[in-house]
Amino acid sequence: MTPTPQEPNALVVEGLSHSFGGVRVLRRISFAVRQGEMVALIGPSGAGKSTLLRLLAGLIPADLGTVSVLGEDVQREGRLAPRSGAVRARTGLIFQKPNLVGRLDLFTNVALGGVQALAPWRSLTGTWPRGLRAAVLDALARTGLADKAGRRASLLSGGEQQRGALARLLVQRARLVLADEPVAALDPVAAHRVMETLTALNRQDGLTVVVSLHQISQARRHCPRVIALSDGQIAYDGPTEGLDMGRLAQIYGPDIEAAVIA
């Protein structure tokens, strides 16, 4: 989905700063992401990508600044805002290491995305309501995992586990996906498949996506917009086509040319 300028914001970040042990790692970051956008977050190691994503998810409090997700505050001037369960449920987090429960089968893992929406007694009965079962089967089909429903999550490949995590987000009815290097540990083919699945969720379901990536080629292929962090500040925020070698050298340093060609 290509968002129109009228699309409301999914994410608004204003003056966000963070430090660890007195060392400032993010300095007055501001940007907004419209609903339906797919944005790559790039930048060298240590630039602050993971820290920024953790702040956006409300996992750690910022030193200063505000973050709002789907119109509700997550951070407000140094404090985590108490968020409604509804907004929390609508934000999906994906990390480099897939976070499925290894000893449970894939179907159960994906169904767990929907338990917040159930009356408490339903999750105690040991059977899933018909609507949820249908949603799980649909999500597994959408992510190319229909034939893996009964497999223990720990026996799935890394790429399958990441797609399983995306299926769980569909069942969760997440509207914003924050993904931190979701394909860094995968071979190129598996990585491509996960990125294609994430792109399908963005285009077909209108999920807003902010994904940190180390491969510039993946950002170019999948994300129309890129935000580059360098030394805790935004070094570039614009169309991915605008990432020419000069800009990349500003972000990563002069050796990037050899690295990208290699």
180-192 in b/e burial notation, b at 16+ Cβ within 10 A?
bbbbeebeeebbb
The phi-psi region of residue 180 (left if phi > 0; otherwise alpha if psi is between -120 and 50; otherwise beta) is beta
Contact segment (CB under 5 A) with Mg ion among 50-58, 95-103, 146-154, 199-207 equals 50-58
Q: Which is nearer to Mg ion, 49 or 142 (CB)?
A: 49
Residue 46 binds which entry of ligand ATP, Mg ion, none, with Cβ cut-offs from 5 to 8 Å by kind?
ligand ATP
The amino acid present at 86, given as its one-letter code, is A
Beta strand 79-80 with 72-76 is: antiparallel
Binding marks (x or -) toward ligand ATP, 15..54, rule CB under 6 A? -----xx---x-----------------x-xxxxxxx---
Binding marks (x or -) toward ligand ATP, 48..87, rule CB under 6 A? xxxx------------------------------------
Helices and strands in the chain, H and E counts: 9, 11
Q: Which is nearer to ligand ATP, 149 or 186 (CB)?
A: 186
Residue 4 binds which entry of ligand ATP, Mg ion, none, with Cβ cut-offs from 5 to 8 Å by kind?
none
Q: Which residues contact 65 (CB under 8 A, 6 or more apart)?
A: 13, 14, 15, 16, 17, 28, 29, 30, 75, 77
At 209, give phi and psi (nearest 5°).
-130, 130
Q: Least CB distance from residue 225 to Mg ion, whole Å?
A: 19
Could you tell me the two tokens for 154?
């720990």
Binding flag, residue 50, Mg ion (CB under 5 A)? yes
* Rounded-to-10 torsion of CA 7, 75, 24, 99: -80
Binding flag, residue 211, ligand ATP (CB under 6 A)? no
* Alpha carbon of residue 246 to chain centroid: 28
Size of the site for ligand ATP (CB under 6 A): 11
Q: Least CB distance from residue 23 to ligand ATP, whole Å?
A: 7
For residues 194 and 160, what is the distance between their CA atoms, to the nearest angstrom? 8
**Residue 238: strand pairing partners:** 226
Q: Which is nearer to ligand ATP, 87 or 183 (CB)?
A: 183
Q: Which is nearer to Mg ion, 115 or 184 (CB)?
A: 184
Binding marks (x or -) toward Mg ion, 195..234, rule CB under 5 A? ----------------------------------------
Name the site residues for ligand ATP (rule: CB under 6 A).
20-21, 25, 43, 45-51
Name the site residues for Mg ion (rule: CB under 5 A).
49-50
